[in-house]
Each structure stands twice: as structure tokens, then as C-alpha cells.
Amino acid sequence: MSISIKNQQFHLQTPTTSYIMDIISTGELRHLYYGNKLHQDAKLEHTNLTMVLAESPTKDRTISYYNISREYPSYGRSDYREGSIHIQNDQYGDTIIELEYLSHYIISNCPSLKNLPHIRNTQDKAETLVITMIDKSLGLEIDLYYTILEESDVITRFSIIKNTGSMNLKILSALSLSLDICCDKNWELITLNGTWGRERKLERSPISYGAHYISSTQGNSSSSLHNPFGMLVRPYTTETSGEAIATSLIYSGNHKLNVELTPLDNLRLMLGINPFDFNWSLNPGEEFTTPQAVICYSSQGMGSVSRELHHFVQNRIINPKWKDHQRYILINNWEGTYFDFNEDKILAMAEEAKKLGIELFVLDDGWFGHRDNDFTSLGDWFDYKTKLPNGIKGLSQKISDLGLKFGLWFEPEMISEDSDLFKNHPEWRIECPRYIPCQGRNQYVLDMTRKDVQDYLYEKISSVLEESTIHYVKWDKNRNLTDIMSRELPVNQQKEFVHRYMLSLYQLFDRLITKFPDILFESCSAGGNRFDLGMLYYMPQTWASDNTDAIQRLDIQWGSSMGYPLSSIGSHVSESPNHQTGRYASLQLRGAVALFGTFGYELDPLKIPLKEKEIIKQQIHAFKKYRTLISQGDFYRIQSPETNVCSWGVVSSDKTEALIMVTRILSSANPTMIKINIPNLISSALYSVDELGITAYGNELMNSGLWMPVSNEFIKNTELSCFCSWNRSGIDPCFPDFSGMVFHIKKI
């Protein structure tokens, strides 16, 4: 790790990569190189300023910003591409900016961002380069922050925009990251797209000429439609080879990832707050901080970049309290009861869950106000005594007496029209007075930018958590923003509302988590509608999707793993037939898929057949044995669910053991054998695979591969048999097509 500055060239070195910039004659900060590590004194003298003549900001016709790889681009001075920064001044009304280098300095740590999630300082070393750019005519000063880490190839970027002049400025766009790649169109773009129940489906597309983007305009979420993550890859890049550049935003609101390819084959990648319906008043003496973005390069394939991001998230994003803390095996009552429960029912479920080996019982929606359906009571965070005569305090104590931890569901950002809160404070609802406000799930959204709303929620939630024995909170949000405006903001600041909402929400998170550091918070938003690094900074795990169907979860968890570690992916076993898809799947297959995540159950344990209870006991016992390997091992995607076979697994850092999952999605008559190449073992070491009753050397398993059986008859009876239902076992005609198994590879 080093930052080298020589002859107006800035060279950032991570363990295996180099990121290089320099200053040209106009004072512009130019991007020179990002890729495999170069010599610290590399000069890159062969790099040209431009290829063709074009409009120029100077008398030197060989300089045109349209053709230069710019580090922090703006529009209006010969660059016709979309820029990182777009500002309007109130004196002339134009949006022309020309930034030039002023100074730089180095910080020996990771800077903190006020009211924004950010990478954490740890015992590992970090350095931050701060480059100050100015536009003298506007009185505009922008500090560009680049942080490199001793233990990681991830580089983080953000900027602080300052008004040091006398004019009032309005920020129209302020993106966090821009990367220009000169004279190289040979890239493809990977994004994670979807909708409710189909979150983070991996899509890989060629990049054609023009501008292409994904974004969120949902206001209070990064969205299930387009995750704030992207990856540039070569057409030949695979999981194990080829160049890949990944980027992700540490933010949970509206975002935009933009890729633009010019006919001169110059490529620009940008990521940050979505400029759509956004601006920010920046008066003299004020400053604005963009969210942090991360970027990571590898020449060893998509898997290498993903694992680098996984370690980065674990070590620099997740709260240190929970970084290595094993997640509780939980059961959630929602799909088992929905709103139809009382204290006796919940206690009976909890008692049965304890017998199965469950560690945490989570009471979901319906415990507050007079909530018997989703039309009422959001905002009334007090006990529903008809259902729970002893309240949450009494229920949590009784569940604790059973030897279980207790968790509770909240949806604090929402309000029901049928609630005491709405009767007392109708002005707290977000609405445009000209229209009847839109509903979503029969509910509305609170104006989180209001201090009185924040204080109310803090006090109500704190009261419940203080008087009860609670170890886990599921923080849900089931609708997005509409009718966006605030009674608290003046007319000229209404487009600041969405970002102010997120800043206020982060502030509330910070207050609660500081007060209750021993409570594990899980983020949820109609499933995986807020799966991003911003939420993971406050809540170390996120419910990946309301869709718990094992087959569809292959796509969801595969895509999620591109940028997020297994310990952050909420994955549970639910009932069959599945409540979202109606599909039947064996308990073994459902367990095999859910195993690679936080692991838990979404069902009524009182309704489970005795035979399945025994399988669940075995699954829980196995997860307890292997959960350290699952949460801290290196994750490898082996075979994509786009084929008929999906496989993934984790390998320990010392390469002495691995846990691998294989599923066959559709069976066929006279089935063919399946071969899986096991990654990253010790070539000369001998390994056992007890589930298949074989031993083999590491180089055999990596290169020749491991052959899967054609039926259950060839699977040995081991502690992982509870995750094995392979091909047509003939046990149950409801499960003819979907099969899976988990096996353990151990160095002898």
C-alpha cells in the first residue's frame, strides 16, 4: 500500500493494482491507468492527450476535454459526455465549470462522513489522498478523496463540494465516482436487476455506442429494480479469468450507474446519487458531501473481484461488533401465522422451535396497535393487548425462559391512516396537497426529514427495546416514496427532500444502534428492495427476498454474491408448496440453498411432520458445525443457475476444507452425469469426500473434477444427508424435478 506523488503524477498502489492520475497543462486532473500493479516509478510517457482535433479550452488545439480521460469531469468546456459535477450559479444562470488543480495532502486513515455510511477505520493501515480542485470564477472548491487499504484492492472515492465564493450555487448533479478508459471499447457490463420476488438477477450486456444507465427513482430505497452495483468485464472474462472492474455505492437512496461509450472508443463509468429530480442549494460557506463509492479491479475473473468485495464489506463496512459474530439460527412466524396469532400460539411455536435447535424466535407483523390486517396501526408502536395480554415485555421474558433469544419486527418509516398516530399528526404523512396521496400496501410514508418524526420514532422504539428482552430487530419498509414533497422545506429546496430523507434515516439508525449495540438489526424492504452497502453499514444482514422458493433463490443468491458476502444474505427455509410460487420442493433442497447465507426458517413448526422435524434438527446441527466456514470462508460461484445445474461453495482460507452445494433444476430420463470442478484446494494434498465415499488429491478435484451421482443410492449417509435429495429419489411424487446436495471436502 502506498501513495506516490512525483512530477505532478499521483500513483495509488493497492496490494495488486495501480491507479494513476496526473495534471496536464490546463490544470485538469487526468486519469492515466487502472489495472494490474505497475512499478512505483512508472511514467506512462506513451499516453497521448488526444487523438483528434476538437473544441479546446486553450489555444493548444491538441487538448480537448472530449478526448481526454478525465478524473472528475464536468460539462461545458469541450466535453460533451455526461459529467460527475453539474452546478448552476445564480449570478449568470449558466452551468459551466472548469476545475483546475490547487493542492493535495495525505491522511493516514479513513475519513468519516457526517450522517453518511462510510468505510470504517480498523487496525489495518489506510491512506487517503485528498486532491483539491477549484473554479476561481465561481468560488467553487472540490476535495476529491481516494482511500486505499493495506489489506484490500478496493479503492474508495467521494468528494466534498464547497462554496467559498459569494454567489449562491445549486448542485444539479454530484456523482461519487467517474472512471474514464481511453481507446478501449472491448467491455461488457454486468448489472443486478429485477423486481419484487426476483431481486438481483445477473444481466450481462455488451456496451454499444451512446449512454446507458441503470438507476433508482424510488426515493427511500436503492431498489430491487436496479442494485447500486455494476461490473465491467471483457467479453472473454469468466469467474476464474479475465479482467473485471466492479463498483458499488455506499448509499441506500436514489442512485445512477452510467456507462457511456463515444464513437472515439472512449468509455466512461460513473456512479452516484441519481441527478433525476435532485438538486442542492449550496450557499456561500456551505458544503455538500457525496456518498462513498468503491471500485475494485482484478485480472483473475469475476470471482476474484467478488471475493475482494466480500472481505472488504466484512472488514470495513459491517459493524465490528458483528463482523465475526455468528448469526443466530432463527425462526420467523410470518409465513406460519401471518396476522392470526396470540400469545399462546406464539409460545407453543417457540417451544417447538427450541426442541428443533432454533436459537432465536422472531415475532413479525401484527403485535402492535390493533393490527389484525395491513390496513391499520402502523405508527402505533405499543402492545396489542388483545393478542398479547402480557405485552412484548412479558412475551419476550417467557421466550427467554424457554432458552431462546427473542426478535421483533418493526416498520417505523410507515404510517396507517387508521392509527392513533395519524389522528394526532396527519401532517407527518408525505403528501402533495393537490392530490389524494398514493397508497402502497394500504400505508403511507412518514416525513423522516422532520425532527419531531425522528424523535417520536426514537422514543417509541427505544421504549419497546428497553423494557423487553430483545436480541434482534427486523427493520422493514414495504413501500417506496410517492407524492414527494415536505411541508418543512421551502419551495427552492424541495428537490433536496429525497437525499435529506436518507440522511435523516441514517441519523436515526445511528442513534438507535449506539443506544442498543448488542441488538442485531436486519434490514428488510419488501424483501430485497434495500440491499446495498449503506444499509449493511448499520445492519449487518439484509433479507434477500420475500421469495423463499429454493429454485428462484438460486438466481437471487447467485446475483447477490457478486458484491455482497454470504453473512449479509438473509436466506431461510420456508414451507412447501412455496407461498410465493406454489412450487413443491423437498426440505433437503430448500435447506441446501438456504444454508449458504444467514440460515433460518419461515414456517409453523407445529405443522411440520415428525419425519421433517428430524431432518430440520439435522440441518440445524450441520449449520452450527459449518457456519464459521460459511460466513468466513472464500465463496466461489462454480456453475450458473442459467444452466440446468447450479453449484457454489466456500473454501476455508487455509484450503483444508470446503463446503459445496450442487442442484439439478430439472431431471430427465436416463440422466447424464454432472462434473463439478472444486476451486482453490492444495494441489498435492489428499482430500476425503465422505458423502460420495471417495478420496482424491486436490489437483484431481480442481482439474479433473468431482462427478455427481445419478441418484440418492450413491450418496453415503453422513451428517449432510439432510441437505441431499438427488435426482428422482422416488420418495414423494410431489418432488420429481428438483434435486440438490451439499458435500464436505476435508484435507486428510
Please measure the distance between the N-terminal and C-terminal CA atoms of the chain and give it in whole angstroms: 37
- Among residues 516, 514, 534, the alpha carbon closest in space to that of 525 is found at 534
Residues 6+ apart with CB under 8 A from 614: none
CB of 596 closer than 8 Å to CB of 550: no
Q: What pairing do the DSSP bridges indicate for beta strands 244-249 and 9-13?
A: unpaired
Question: Cell 445445474 belongs to which residue?
Answer: 645
Angle at 46 between CA 41 and CA 51, to 5 degrees: 145
3-state secondary structure of 610: helix
Q: What pairing do the DSSP bridges indicate for beta strands 226-233 and 188-193?
A: antiparallel
User: What is the spatial distance between Cα 386 and Cα 400, in angstroms, rounded to a whole number?
Assistant: 22
| Residue at 218: amino acid letter | Q
Whether residue 577 is preceded by a cis peptide bond, meaning omega within 30 degrees of 0, is yes
CB of 68 closer than 8 Å to CB of 30: yes
The one catalytic residue among 546, 555, 604, 634:
546
DSSP E strands, 491-618: 520-523, 541-543, 569-570, 573-574, 600-602
Whether 546 is catalytic: yes
- Among residues 310, 351, 313, 311, the alpha carbon closest in space to that of 333 is found at 351
The one catalytic residue among 447, 476, 532, 634:
476
- Among residues 525, 660, 626, 534, the alpha carbon closest in space to that of 229 is found at 534
User: What is the spatial distance between Cα 37 and Cα 400, in angstroms, rounded to a whole number?
Assistant: 54
3-state secondary structure of 727: coil
**Would you state the torsion angle of the CA atoms of residues 454, 459, 465, 467, taken in this order, to the nearest 10 degrees?**
180
User: What is the spatial distance between Cα 678 and Cα 697, in angstroms, rounded to a whole number?
Assistant: 11
Ramachandran angles phi, psi of 181, nearest 5°: -120, 115
**Grid cell at residue 51:** 487523438
| Residue at 211: amino acid letter | A
User: What is the spatial distance between Cα 678 and Cα 240, in angstroms, rounded to a whole number?
Assistant: 12
| Residue at 41: amino acid letter | D
* CB neighbours of residue 486 within 10 Å: 19
User: What is the spatial distance between Cα 523 and Cα 542, in angstroms, rounded to a whole number?
Assistant: 5
CB of 92 closer than 8 Å to CB of 69: no
Residues forming beta bridges with residue 48, ordered by sequence position? none
DSSP assigned state of 511? H
Whether 420 is catalytic: no
Positions marked active-site: 476, 546
